[in-house]
Amino acid sequence: MSGRNETTESKQLAEMAAVDIVGKRNLVDNPLYPIKWIRERKVVRASEDGTSVVIWFLFRVNDKFLTGEEFYPLTTVTVLLKREGKDKKWNLVSADLESEYQPGKPNREKWEFLPDGTSQKVG
Protein backbone atom coordinates (compact mmCIF):
# COMPACT_ATOMS: atom_id res chain seq x y z
CA MET A 1 0.00 0.00 0.00
CA SER A 2 1.19 3.49 -0.70
CA GLY A 3 0.99 6.23 1.92
CA ARG A 4 -1.67 8.00 -0.13
CA ASN A 5 -3.93 4.92 -0.15
CA GLU A 6 -3.45 4.43 3.58
CA THR A 7 -4.49 8.02 4.20
CA THR A 8 -7.48 7.65 1.88
CA GLU A 9 -8.54 4.43 3.62
CA SER A 10 -8.36 5.98 7.10
CA LYS A 11 -10.21 9.13 5.97
CA GLN A 12 -13.01 7.11 4.38
CA LEU A 13 -13.42 4.92 7.46
CA ALA A 14 -13.36 7.93 9.78
CA GLU A 15 -15.87 9.81 7.62
CA MET A 16 -18.33 6.90 7.65
CA ALA A 17 -18.00 6.70 11.44
CA ALA A 18 -18.46 10.46 11.90
CA VAL A 19 -21.56 10.47 9.68
CA ASP A 20 -22.98 7.51 11.65
CA ILE A 21 -22.45 9.33 14.97
CA VAL A 22 -24.14 12.51 13.70
CA GLY A 23 -27.07 10.38 12.53
CA LYS A 24 -27.38 8.65 15.90
CA ARG A 25 -27.17 11.99 17.71
CA ASN A 26 -30.06 13.27 15.62
CA LEU A 27 -32.07 10.04 16.02
CA VAL A 28 -32.60 9.30 12.34
CA ASP A 29 -32.51 6.01 10.44
CA ASN A 30 -30.53 7.46 7.53
CA PRO A 31 -27.46 9.13 9.06
CA LEU A 32 -26.91 11.31 5.99
CA TYR A 33 -30.35 12.89 6.34
CA PRO A 34 -29.52 15.56 8.94
CA ILE A 35 -26.17 16.48 7.42
CA LYS A 36 -26.49 19.58 5.30
CA TRP A 37 -22.88 19.29 4.14
CA ILE A 38 -19.40 18.42 5.28
CA ARG A 39 -17.59 21.73 5.33
CA GLU A 40 -14.10 20.53 6.11
CA ARG A 41 -12.02 17.47 6.99
CA LYS A 42 -8.38 17.26 7.95
CA VAL A 43 -5.82 15.02 9.57
CA VAL A 44 -4.93 16.75 12.82
CA ARG A 45 -2.40 14.25 14.14
CA ALA A 46 -0.67 11.17 12.76
CA SER A 47 2.00 9.04 14.38
CA GLU A 48 5.40 8.84 12.70
CA ASP A 49 5.21 5.05 12.54
CA GLY A 50 1.88 5.16 10.69
CA THR A 51 -0.10 3.27 13.34
CA SER A 52 -2.47 6.01 14.57
CA VAL A 53 -4.25 8.98 13.09
CA VAL A 54 -6.76 11.57 14.29
CA ILE A 55 -9.12 13.03 11.68
CA TRP A 56 -11.38 16.04 12.28
CA PHE A 57 -14.65 16.75 10.46
CA LEU A 58 -16.75 19.91 10.47
CA PHE A 59 -20.42 19.39 9.60
CA ARG A 60 -23.32 21.73 9.04
CA VAL A 61 -26.33 19.83 10.42
CA ASN A 62 -30.01 20.45 9.63
CA ASP A 63 -31.81 20.30 12.98
CA LYS A 64 -35.22 21.63 11.90
CA PHE A 65 -36.81 18.44 13.23
CA LEU A 66 -36.74 19.74 16.82
CA THR A 67 -37.17 23.45 16.22
CA GLY A 68 -39.53 23.41 13.23
CA GLU A 69 -37.33 26.06 11.61
CA GLU A 70 -34.29 26.00 9.39
CA PHE A 71 -31.52 25.62 11.97
CA TYR A 72 -28.01 24.57 10.95
CA PRO A 73 -25.67 24.18 13.94
CA LEU A 74 -22.01 23.48 13.30
CA THR A 75 -20.90 20.10 14.62
CA THR A 76 -17.37 18.68 14.76
CA VAL A 77 -16.44 15.03 15.10
CA THR A 78 -12.84 14.04 15.83
CA VAL A 79 -12.12 10.35 15.15
CA LEU A 80 -9.13 8.32 16.43
CA LEU A 81 -8.02 5.31 14.37
CA LYS A 82 -5.22 2.85 15.13
CA ARG A 83 -3.66 -0.22 13.58
CA GLU A 84 -1.14 -2.82 14.71
CA GLY A 85 1.35 -2.14 11.93
CA LYS A 86 1.81 -0.01 8.84
CA ASP A 87 0.51 -2.79 6.56
CA LYS A 88 -2.51 -3.68 8.74
CA LYS A 89 -6.08 -2.43 8.43
CA TRP A 90 -7.31 0.60 10.36
CA ASN A 91 -9.54 0.16 13.42
CA LEU A 92 -11.86 2.80 14.82
CA VAL A 93 -11.05 3.58 18.47
CA SER A 94 -13.00 6.60 19.70
CA ALA A 95 -14.62 9.87 18.68
CA ASP A 96 -15.41 13.20 20.30
CA LEU A 97 -18.38 15.24 19.11
CA GLU A 98 -18.79 18.97 19.81
CA SER A 99 -21.76 20.98 18.62
CA GLU A 100 -23.27 24.41 18.79
CA TYR A 101 -26.37 24.53 20.97
CA GLN A 102 -29.10 22.11 19.94
CA PRO A 103 -32.17 22.02 22.22
CA GLY A 104 -32.29 18.83 24.28
CA LYS A 105 -28.79 17.67 23.32
CA PRO A 106 -25.44 18.04 25.10
CA ASN A 107 -22.78 20.19 23.44
CA ARG A 108 -20.15 17.45 23.88
CA GLU A 109 -20.33 13.68 23.55
CA LYS A 110 -17.77 10.89 23.76
CA TRP A 111 -18.12 7.77 21.61
CA GLU A 112 -16.24 4.47 21.45
CA PHE A 113 -16.19 1.79 18.81
CA LEU A 114 -16.74 -1.92 19.38
CA PRO A 115 -14.42 -4.37 17.56
CA ASP A 116 -16.98 -4.68 14.73
CA GLY A 117 -16.87 -0.89 14.20
CA THR A 118 -20.25 -0.17 15.80
CA SER A 119 -20.31 3.15 17.64
CA GLN A 120 -21.69 3.59 21.14
CA LYS A 121 -22.06 6.75 23.19
CA VAL A 122 -20.06 6.63 26.44
CA GLY A 123 -20.39 10.17 27.73
Instruction: Give the mean pLDDT of 90-115.
Output: 91
Q: Are 98 and 106 in contact, with CB atoms under 8 Å apart?
A: no
Total structural domains within the chain? 1
- Choose between 68 and 8: higher pLDDT: 8
H/E stretch holding 84 reads none
- State how far the Cα of 71 lies from the Cα of 63, in Å rounded to an integer: 5
H/E stretch holding 17 reads helix 3-25
**pTM score, whole prediction:** 0.81
Name the band, by pLDDT with cuts 50, 70 and 90, for residue 29.
low
| 74-82 vs 35-46, strand pairing mode | unpaired
Instruction: Give the mean pLDDT of 84-101.
Output: 91
Q: What angle is formed at CA 62 by the lines to CA 14 and CA 122, rounded to 5 degrees?
A: 45
Q: Are 72 and 84 in contact, with CB atoms under 8 Å apart?
A: no
**Could you list the residue range(s) of the whole structural domain that residue 104 is in?**
3-121
| DSSP-assigned letter for residue 63 | -
Name the band, by pLDDT with cuts 50, 70 and 90, for residue 4.
very low
Q: Are 22 and 59 in contact, with CB atoms under 8 Å apart?
A: yes
